């Protein structure tokens, strides 16, 4: 289970967005469901992941926001040289944080 405790503790503070970025970056590609966003069948370069945030919505129970995720997809052994080929990738995820216990659900956004 994903739990963004530090992010929840920073809700309605100036540090909310940066804390969310830090906690999402620690999750890695699997928890962010980035394999679903691969366009060329490659691998995610986890050092390339960065985030853009949309304005959050809040209810009595949840904090919810759309997060844009930028990454590089690496293809190895597809050309004659030893260097991998890279492609820029982007996807959006809906991040929903339970205000009671920081339990977090991340789902793909399909627009």
Report the pLDDT value the prediction gives residue 103, as an integer from 0 to 100. 97
3-state helix/strand/coil string of 32-52: CCHHHHCCCCCEEEEEEEEEE
Per-residue pLDDT tens digits of the chain, which is 111 residues long: 899 999 999 999 999 999 999 999 999 899 999 988 888 778 888 899 999 999 899 899 999 999 999 999 888 766 666 777 888 999 999 999 999 999 999 999 986
Query: Which of 97, 87, 95, 91 lies closest to 111 in space, CA to CA?
Result: 91
Q: Taking a C-beta distance cutoff of 8 angstroms, is the pair 84, 51 a contact?
A: no
Q: Taking a C-beta distance cutoff of 8 angstroms, is the pair 97, 64 a contact?
A: yes
Report the pLDDT value the prediction gives residue 80, as an integer from 0 to 100. 60
Residue 36, Cα to own-chain centre: how many angstroms? 12
Predicted model pTM:
0.88
Which residue, chain included where needed, has tokens 């627009």? 111
Structural domain containing residue 48: 2-108
Report the pLDDT value the prediction gives residue 44, as an integer from 0 to 100. 87
Domain count, the chain: 1
How far apart (Å, rounded) are the C-alpha atoms in residues 86 and 45? 9
Query: Which of 55, 51, 54, 61 lies closest to 23 in space, CA to CA?
Result: 51
């Amino acid at each position: 289970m994903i739990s963004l405790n530090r992010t929840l503790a920073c809700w309605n503070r100036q540090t909310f967005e940066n804390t969310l970025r830090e906690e999402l970056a620690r999750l890695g590609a699997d928890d962010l469901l980035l394999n679903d966003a691969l366009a060329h069948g490659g691998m995610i370069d986890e050092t390339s992941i960065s985030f853009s945030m949309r304005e959050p919505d809040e209810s009595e129970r949840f904090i919810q926001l759309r997060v844009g995720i930028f990454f590089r997809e690496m293809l190895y052994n597809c050309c004659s040289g030893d260097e991998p080929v890279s492609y820029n990738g982007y996807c959006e995820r809906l991040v929903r944080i339970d205000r009671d216990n920081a339990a977090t659900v991340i789902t793909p956004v399909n627009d």
